Amino acid sequence: MIFPQPMVRLTAVILQRDMDEVTRKLLNLGVMDFIDARGNEFSLASKLTEIKQKISGSDIGDLRSRIENLMESAHLPLPSPETLDAEQLAAVDSQLVQKDLDNLASEIRVIRDQQKDLQQDLNRKSEILRQTELFEQISGQAPRDSAVEVISGLVKKTRREAFSLALAAFPAVTQWGQPDESDLAVMLLYLKRDQTAIDQILDRFAWQAIEFPPELRGHRDEIVERLTREIRDIESRQKQLQQKAVETVKAREQWLRDSWKNLQMTGQYIRMQDSFGKTTETILFTGWIPRNLQSVTEKCIRETTLGRCYLEWAKPDGDPSVSPEKVPVKLSHIPLLKPFQWLVQNYSTPRYGSIDPTVLVAFTYLTMFGLMFGDAGHGFVLMVLGALTALLNRKAGGTIYDLGRLIFWCGGAAIVTGILFGSYFGYSWFPALWFNYHGIVSGHEGHGLVSDVYDILGITIRLGIFVIGAGIFLNIVNRIRSKSWFHLFFDKGGLFGGWFYAGGVYTSYYFVQSGYKTLPSDEIMLFAVLIPASVFVLKSPLEFFEEHKKHGKPFKATLLMDWIMHWIVELLELFSGYLSNTLSFMRIAGLGIAHVSLMTAFFQIAGGFDSPLASALILIFGNTLVIALEGLSAGIQSLRLNYYEFFSKYFCGSGKVYEPISLRRSN
Amino acid sequence: MGSVSRYSYINARLHALISTLLTEDFFIRMERTPSVDESLYFFQSTPYSFMPGIYARTGDLKSVEKSLTTYLFNEIRHLRRHAPTELHPLIAVLSGRIRYDAFKSSLRLWYDQSFRKRSIDDYTEYIPREIPLEGVSADAIINAPDQEALAALLRGTPYAVVLPGLEKLQESRTLLVSELALEEDYYRRLVDAAESFRGEERMRIKRLIAGEIDEVNLGRLMRMAPHLHDERLIESLHIAGGKRITASDFTHFTRSSDKSLFYDELLHRFGISAPLGKMEKSLEYTKILSNVSRSLDDEKKQLCVKTKVSSLFDAGLAVAYVRLREREIRRITHLLNAQYYGKVNAGGQV
């Protein structure tokens, strides 16, 4: 748990006839992070050729993404990775899939074209509606500057339908009057710009202009209502067509799901074989596997090939030819710690063989957060919010899910510290188990070890010393494991740096204990601070001699001056760096005090109101604001302290994430 | 420019928006998708996530295009709302291009129905009415009964620059002169807006604008000038404010006997060496011009990265972002149209 999972490298040689079956088995197993057998990393690369595929991975990807988009358009979920089984993988006839997809696309296109025609009808209706709405009342000719023309006339009763149909291609509206024996009076409202075309229609229907009859006056609202109804009708037909397009895709759901599954598996199959190398008769592949899965993998390959294989296993540990940056890193933690693993990987992936700080981060992050946000009531709210966020995003997973779980943990930490400080939504409903934060910040003297604000600051500085000390210790462990002896001694977080820091801490403690009057004795100062500080003078010369040994770098007298300057600068950096790193932890107290002060301020504001309702509203608002603002600040500051004060002491990043080719992972 | 606190929001907002610009890989994936329906679903997790819904509702690509224009206008308007007042004139001019385009579309519709006697009923609703024109409405322009009425409408508005071109419409039978005047006026306003800045910031904005004007001038020399015979009209194609192409290049164009050599020399100024013998075809022109656009876009992207690293606000960032977004929207529109009109029936091939 404290180090990444041990890995082992497999190099396998199998016969070509076993390749397909082995690929399928390894896909189902999904444990191997492949290395390109024809890449520079591999000594036999030049003797190997690539496996020719009938279809390229990018073509597979294109087809798959076409299916994904079509399924998305019909709100169909993609098949779960759990349903994939490489044994069911079938040869992909890309042209056939392409043709079927094109046919489906064409079917949808036909529907879209119908929708487009409807949309244009809707556009015309919308335009004439907009123009009609500009009239206060329709009672004859339109004003001269209007864009529309209003006329009235007679049309043969028998030609009413045909007349309406002819006008349908224009933004125009009609209002029919009472019929007489053979004719119908009609009011026609159209856009002036269509005058020529409308005139032609009127001629065709033997339009007979008449005085605006009283029965056709004043129908503006009726026309507006009719047009609105017609627009709604078109919209509803649009919806039906939209649904028809969805149903068209849904009708092919099973085929789409099966094709997607096969394409997804084929994509991974090709990807895996892309890293294989071929000789005349054999196939060679190589990659990394977690050590605990070595025997399962070996058994799988041997059983599949009936023993016709050569397998070679190599451990990276202690092998100087294997760079730790190239060994993939698998961090394995219990699910409860996953949010903290997310925080670590957000910074960087630890290098193989170095310390994986997930467990430590869980402790330091929560401690810091709890001290800054010590209120059991607020913690409870955070816990509920975190649990809800995680539950709602459980299926989708991802960042929001991890964030929800982290908030849940932070809420838990705040409840614990809230109980220790006796704070429940700013009230002291139960006595504090440790010290009363609110009381101390408000100026009431506490009891025991914590009696004023300075004591709170002292606690956070002690926490800082502990965290930085732990960082130095972890760096020493990392350096010993990687056999970096020079860095073990001369790193800022190395043995001499740690000695200097410990000496500095002791000197400061002594000085404070003496009431800021005296420093420790000369002998102690010599041992605690001066000796480790002096040893650093050797750092630059030793680096030079190493360079001289390797590359023959010549010595010049001016180098002496450089070395002294480097030493002075290094000491200054060491002193100021450790001092600021340690004091940086006072922000924990700062935010904790701010949390309490904000609550106190809201209590005072609420107390100023006579109405209990107003007071309650102020307190609800105050608590919400404090939870949101302080929760965010405390979360960010805890992260900052971990990343910059803790990780910077020992963390070896730039690791390569373990990414096996598997059907269960999205790639 | 100015204190960090006043510009912190707009700075952060612009960088956040820049990070949502689509990548080249995105367009490659989109190009490989044969149907509009399918390719629109690539936009689900982009700022254009509204597009698939509009297309599914209407089946109408023009409605999707209209929504893109409105989106861009609203985005720039939002920027202006949250920007310090010193930036308002620049942002207003940047958004002005969308207004000019909307005006140009209205004018073309009017021209189509008044002069070419074509029915425009199927197109009028695609004018984005959410984008208000200055001093006149799109409907009034489209429905203007005649030229005098249109002139009366436009007089006193920023669009009055098109009037001299409209006066000669009876004889020219083209809107070209009016549209050239409109574009020239737009760039004049843009250059003027840059003048209100100081020092290096002004230099950077002017360089970006000059690059844009150069691109327009180059496009005009390659695409328009060869089809024109009137020397004065060719010379009038030039827009002032560019660095690489000057007014004299338009004069030289008419006098140059070897056009390939002429273009060769021009493209050298953009750092492009092309085998110009092949450049007779318009396809080659398009390729060359898109290379020019890409290199000028790179300049804008570099500015974005530079300002991100330095964390200091630079008004050039607003210019760079708006132009990159405009170009992105144009590219999306072209691709969707290619898919709609060219690809579907050809089984996925253009």
- Give A398-447 as a DSSP string: HHHHHHHHHHHHHHHHHHHHHHHHT-BTTB-SS--SS--HHHHHTT----
Categorize the per-residue pLDDT at B274 as very low, low, confident or very high, splitting at 50, 70 and 90.
low
Q: What is the mean pLDDT of residues B111-123?
A: 87
pLDDT for residue A548: 79
Cβ distance of B143 and A191 shorter than 8 Å: yes
For residue A190, the cross-strand partners are: A149, A172
Task: Give the tens place of pLDDT for each residue, A265-312.
Answer: 999 999 999 999 999 889 999 999 999 999 999 999 999 999 999 999
Residue A259 CA to residue A252 CA, distance in Å, equals 11
∠A30-A36-A40 over CA atoms, to 5°?
A: 155
Residue A513 pLDDT greater than 50, yes or no: yes
Beta-carbon contacts of residue B21 (< 8 Å; ≥ 6 apart): B324, B325, B328
Q: Do A540 and A566 meet the contact criterion of CB atoms below 8 Å apart?
A: yes
Residue of B143, B147, B341 to mutate, interface with A, max A Cβ within 10 Å: B143
CATH topology of domain B1-82+315-350: Topoisomerase I; Chain A, domain 4 (1.10.132)
Cβ distance of B145 and A73 shorter than 8 Å: no
Rounded to 5 degrees, φ, ψ at A446 are -90, -170
CA torsion, points B65, B70, B76, B78, in degrees to nearest 10?
A: -140
The residue with greater pLDDT, A524 or B302, is A524
Residue A339 pLDDT greater than 70, yes or no: yes
Lowest mean pLDDT among A415-429, A526-540, B204-218, B279-293: B279-293
Q: What is the mean pLDDT of residues A552-575?
A: 87
Exposed/middle/buried for A399, CB within 10 Å: 0-12, 13-18, 19+? exposed
Task: Give the three-state DSSP class for A187.
Answer: strand
> Chain B residues with CB inside 8 Å of A69's CB?
33, 37-42
Q: What is the mean pLDDT of residues A630-645?
A: 94
Task: Give the tens place of pLDDT for each residue, A520-553.
Answer: 999 999 998 899 999 988 888 888 888 778 777 7
Q: H or E element: which one contains A7?
A: strand A7-15
For residue A284, the cross-strand partners are: A13, A277
Q: Do A487 and A503 meet the contact criterion of CB atoms below 8 Å apart?
A: no
pLDDT for residue B276: 56
Q: Do B79 and B14 meet the contact criterion of CB atoms below 8 Å apart?
A: yes
Cβ distance of A73 and B52 shorter than 8 Å: yes
Considering only CB atoms, which residues of chain A are within 8 Å of chain B?
Answer: 62, 65-66, 68-70, 72-73, 98-99, 102, 105-106, 108-109, 111-116, 118-120, 123-124, 126-127, 130, 147, 169-171, 191-194, 196-197, 238-239, 241-242, 245
Q: How are beta strands A208-209 and A148-156 bridged, if at all?
A: antiparallel
Categorize the per-residue pLDDT at A453 as very low, low, confident or very high, splitting at 50, 70 and 90.
confident
A46 DSSP assignment: G
Tell which B residues from 90 to 119 touch A, by Cβ distance under 8 Å: 113-114, 117, 119
Q: Which residue has the tokens 């192409």?
A: B245
Residue B5 pLDDT greater than 80, yes or no: no
Structure tokens at B279: 């450049």
pLDDT for residue A331: 87
Q: What is the mean pLDDT of residues A571-592?
A: 92
Residue B342 CA to residue B345 CA, distance in Å, equals 7
pLDDT for residue B317: 87
Residue A666 pLDDT greater than 60, yes or no: no
For residue A424, the cross-strand partners are: A427
Task: Give the three-state DSSP class for A190.
Answer: strand
Task: Give the tens place of pLDDT for each residue, A118-167.
Answer: 999 999 889 889 888 888 777 767 766 678 888 889 999 889 999 999 99
∠B264-B267-B269 over CA atoms, to 5°?
A: 120
pLDDT for residue A413: 96
Cβ distance of B37 and A73 shorter than 8 Å: yes
Residue A137 CA to residue A255 CA, distance in Å, equals 58
pLDDT for residue A260: 95
Distances (CA, A) of A5 to A151, A293, A533, B5: 87, 11, 38, 47
Q: What is the CA radius of gyration of chain A?
A: 39
∠A568-A570-A576 over CA atoms, to 5°?
A: 100
For residue A184, the cross-strand partners are: A155, A179
- Count other C-beta atoms under 10 Å from residue A415's C-beta: 21
Q: How are beta strands A656-657 and A328-329 bridged, if at all?
A: parallel
Instruction: Convert B54-75 to b/e letters by CB count within 10 Å (16 or more is b).
Output: bbbbbbbbbbbbbbbbbbbbeb
| Pick from A111, A123, A241: CB nearest B125 | A123
Residue B64 CA to residue B72 CA, distance in Å, equals 13
For residue B22, the cross-strand partners are: none
Q: Which residue has the tokens 């963390």?
A: A651
List the one residue out of A119, A142, A321 whose CA is nearest residue A238.
Answer: A119
pLDDT for residue A137: 77
Instruction: Convert A605-616 to b/e letters by CB count within 10 Å (16 or more is b).
Output: ebeeeeeeeebe
Residue A208 CA to residue A175 CA, distance in Å, equals 15
Exposed/middle/buried for B97, CB within 10 Å: 0-12, 13-18, 19+? buried
Rounded to 5 degrees, φ, ψ at A156 are -60, 135
Q: Do A190 and A149 meet the contact criterion of CB atoms below 8 Å apart?
A: yes
A49 DSSP assignment: B
Task: Give the tens place of pLDDT for each residue, A238-249.
Answer: 999 999 999 999
Using a pLDDT cut of 70, give the percent of chain B over it: 91
Residue B280 pLDDT greater than 70, yes or no: no
Residue A574 pLDDT greater than 50, yes or no: yes
pTM of structure: 0.78
Exposed/middle/buried for A549, CB within 10 Å: 0-12, 13-18, 19+? exposed
Q: What is the mean pLDDT of residues A170-192?
A: 85
pLDDT for residue B277: 52
> A220-250 and A57-73 helices cross at what angle (nearest 10)?
140
Residue of A56, A63, A69 to mutate, interface with B, max B Cβ within 10 Å: A69
Question: B60 — contact with chain A (CB < 8 Å)?
Answer: yes
Question: B142 — contact with chain A (CB < 8 Å)?
Answer: yes
Residue A180 pLDDT greater than 80, yes or no: no
Residue B2 pLDDT greater than 70, yes or no: no
Q: What is the mean pLDDT of residues B142-155?
A: 91
What mean pLDDT is reported for chain A? Answer: 90
| Pick from B52, B113, B344: CB nearest A109 | B344
| Pick from A72, A98, A115: CB nearest B59 | A115
Task: Give the tens place of pLDDT for each residue, A459-468.
Answer: 999 999 999 9
Categorize the per-residue pLDDT at B26 as very low, low, confident or very high, splitting at 50, 70 and 90.
very high
E runs forming strands in A273-377: 277-278, 282-290, 309-314, 328-329
Q: Do B205 and B316 meet the contact criterion of CB atoms below 8 Å apart?
A: yes
Categorize the per-residue pLDDT at A657 as very low, low, confident or very high, splitting at 50, 70 and 90.
very high
What mean pLDDT is reported for chain B? Answer: 86
pLDDT for residue B284: 67
Categorize the per-residue pLDDT at B240 as very low, low, confident or very high, splitting at 50, 70 and 90.
very high
Distances (CA, A) of B128 to A45, A118, A164, B61, B101: 61, 19, 29, 14, 10
Categorize the per-residue pLDDT at A409 as very low, low, confident or very high, splitting at 50, 70 and 90.
very high
For residue B38, the cross-strand partners are: none
Residue B181 CA to residue B175 CA, distance in Å, equals 10
> Chain A residues with CB inside 8 Å of B44's CB?
72
Q: What share of chain A is helix, strand, coil (3-state, %, to 5)?
A: 65, 10, 25
Categorize the per-residue pLDDT at B185 as very low, low, confident or very high, splitting at 50, 70 and 90.
very high
Domain borders along chain B are 1-82+315-350, 96-197, 203-312
| Pick from A65, A191, A242: CB nearest B56 | A242
Q: Do A358 and A333 meet the contact criterion of CB atoms below 8 Å apart?
A: yes
> Chain B residues with CB inside 8 Å of A102's CB?
34, 347-348
Task: Give the tens place of pLDDT for each residue, A21-59.
Answer: 999 999 999 999 999 998 877 777 788 898 888 888 889
Question: B45 — contact with chain A (CB < 8 Å)?
Answer: no
For residue A33, the cross-strand partners are: A288
Cβ distance of A147 and B120 shorter than 8 Å: no
The residue with greater pLDDT, B209 or B343, is B209
Categorize the per-residue pLDDT at A220 as very low, low, confident or very high, splitting at 50, 70 and 90.
confident
CA A554 to chain centre: 51
pLDDT for residue A446: 63
Cβ distance of B60 and A120 shorter than 8 Å: yes
Distances (CA, A) of B313 to A347, B198, B211, B310: 27, 13, 21, 8
Q: Which residue has the tokens 């997973």?
A: A397
Tell me how close the Cα of B287 comes to any Cα of chain A, in angstroms. Answer: 25
Categorize the per-residue pLDDT at A658 as very low, low, confident or very high, splitting at 50, 70 and 90.
very high
Lowest mean pLDDT among A140-144, A512-516, B187-191: A140-144
Half-sphere exposure of B177 (CA within 13 A, CB side): 16
Tell me how close the Cα of B30 comes to any Cα of chain A, in angstroms. Answer: 10
Q: What is the mean pLDDT of residues B50-65?
A: 94
Q: Which domains does chain A have, with CATH numbers?
A: 7-91+252-329 (no CATH), 120-231 (3.30.70.2750), 332-457+590-648 (no CATH), 484-583 (no CATH)
CA B221 to chain centre: 17
pLDDT for residue A144: 65
pLDDT for residue B350: 35
pLDDT for residue B282: 55
CA torsion, points A529, A530, A534, A536, in degrees to nearest 10?
A: 10
pLDDT for residue B344: 42
